[in-house]
Chain A
C-alpha cells in the first residue's frame, strides 16, 4: 500500500517535471531559438553566416583535440587519473629550508613553477614544437620559411641558458627576498600517510640573488 502510494507520487511528480521541462525546453525554446536565428539573419546578415563557420571550426578543433583560441577546449581534468605512489613536484630551496611557494598567489605560482616544469621538459627532450612544425609545414612551404618558423616558435639554447637568471629576477620580485643562493629542485611526494616528501632532491639549477 505504502509502496504503491509512493510510487504513484513519484510517477505523478515525474510526469509534472517532464511535462514542464518538455514545455520549457522543447516547445518554448524551439520557437525562441528559431526566432533568435531569424533575428540574427534580419539584423546582422554577416554574423548569421559567420556563426555556422565558427561552430564547424569549434567541432573540428574539438575532434582534433587542439586548442586554437578563440576555439577553447574545456577538457581539463576530464581524463582518468590512475593512482600514483608518488608525484613529482618542483620546490624552491633556500639555505634555511624550502621556500613555501604556496603562500604566493595562483598567478605567481603559475609563472614561477609552471615555467620551471616547462624548462625542465625543454632541457630534457623538448616540447614537441619542432615536430609539430615539421608535421604541419614540412614540404608545404619553402625551406627558408620553415626555418623562420622554427627560429620563432622554438626556444634555442640561448633561451634555455638565460632561464635561471630570469627565474631569479622574478622570484626576487614575488618573494621579496633580496640576496642569497636559491636552488630549484625536483623531488617526489609520496601517497602514504601525511604525504611525506622524498629525501632526495635533484637540483635543476642554482642562482644567486643579488
Chain B
C-alpha cells in the first residue's frame, strides 16, 4: 500500500516537474505571500520560502524530495525517509503558494502520506482511518459553507461563478463545444444552479463516510464526478488532489487478493 501511495505521490511530483512548478523551476521568485495563515508566517519568519526561492537551495530541495519519495517506493518501511518526504511536500506547498500569491486548494498530496509516519501497523491503521475522516469532514464543511454563506440559495450563483472563472478564457475561445457548454450554463442560471446545489449535496453526503464504509464506492464516484465537473466547467485541475481518492479505495480487498496470488505462487 505504501508503495502505491508513494508511487502516486511520485507521479504528482513528476506532474509538478512537467508543469514547471518544482521550486528550482520557479526562476527565483521575488514576492512572498504569507497571507494571514500563522503557519505560513512561521515558515516565512524562519526564512524557509525565502531560502528555497534561491536556485541552488531549491534544486537541492527538489532532488532531496524526489529521491526520498523514490526511496519510499523502494523501501516503504524507511521511517526517516518518509518523514523527509512528508515534510518536503508540505514545504513545497507553502513555498509554491507563497510564490503564486495565494494558498493552493489542492491538498490531497499533503494528507495521504501522513499515516505512513506511524511506526506500528495498528497505529498506521488508526491514522489511515483518521485521514479518511479528515477528507470526509473537509468536503462536508465545504457543503456547510455553501449553505452558511448563502451560495446555495443564490439563484444566479453557479452561472456567475462559471462566467467569472472563465472570463480570461473567453478572450481566446468563443466557439466550439466547450464554449457552447459554458455559455449554456451562463445563459441558464436556473439550470446551472441545480449543479451547484447537487455539488453542495455531494459535499454534505460525504458525512456518511464518517459513520460507515459501506458507501465508500459511491462516495468515491461522487468525488470523482465532482472534480471532473469542476475541471470541465471551471478549469480546476485535480491531479494533486487525486490522492484523497485513495481514502475510499478497497485496500483490504486488494490486500486479500494480492496475498491469495502470492500464496498461489
Contact = CB atoms under 8 A, between A and B. Distances in A.
A68 B37 CA distance: 5
A47 B164 CA distance: 43
A132 interface: yes
Given A75-B142, A75-B145, A78-B148, A91 B34 contact: no
Contacts of B173: 102
Interface string A53-73: 000000000100011111011
Interface in B115-168: 122-123, 126, 129-130, 138-139, 141-142, 145-146, 148-151, 154, 156-157, 160-161, 163-164, 167-168
A74 B139 CA distance: 7
B177 interface: no
Given A69-B39, A84-B160, A155-B32, A115 B101 contact: yes
Interface in A80-132: 80-84, 87-91, 98, 100-102, 105-108, 110-111, 113-115, 117-119, 122, 127-129, 132
Nearest to B103: A67
Given A79-B149, A80-B154, A173-B25, A122 B170 contact: no
Interface stretch (B15-23, B57-65, B72-80): B15-23
Contact of A74 (B16, B18, B101, B138): B138
What bracket does the count of chain A residues touching chain B fall in?
35 or more
A87 B32 CA distance: 26
A129 B20 contact: no
A98 B171 contact: yes
Interface stretch (A3-11, A188-196, A202-210): A188-196
Given A80-B154, A115-B100, A153 B44 contact: yes
B107 interface: yes
B194 interface: no
B27 interface: yes
B31 interface: yes
Contacts, number: 208
B36 A106 contact: no
A120 B165 CA distance: 19
A117 B16 CA distance: 22
A111 B167 contact: no
B138 A72 contact: yes
Interface of A: 24-25, 28-29, 32-33, 36, 39-40, 43-44, 47, 51, 62, 66-70, 72-84, 87-91, 98, 100-102, 105-108, 110-111, 113-115, 117-119, 122, 127-129, 132, 148-149, 152-153, 155, 159-160, 162-163, 166, 169-170, 173-174, 189, 191, 194-195, 197
15 contacts: A24-B212, A25-B212, A67-B36, A70-B110, A81-B160, A107-B16, A110-B100, A111-B21, A119-B101, A152-B44, A153-B44, A159-B30, A170-B26, A174-B20, A195-B170
Which are the 8 A-B pairs with shortest beta-carbon distances? A118-B101, A29-B211, A195-B170, A80-B154, A78-B145, A81-B160, A74-B142, A106-B237
Interface of B: 16, 18-21, 25-41, 44-45, 47, 50, 90, 93-94, 96, 99-105, 107, 110, 122-123, 126, 129-130, 138-139, 141-142, 145-146, 148-151, 154, 156-157, 160-161, 163-164, 167-174, 208, 210-212, 214, 235-237
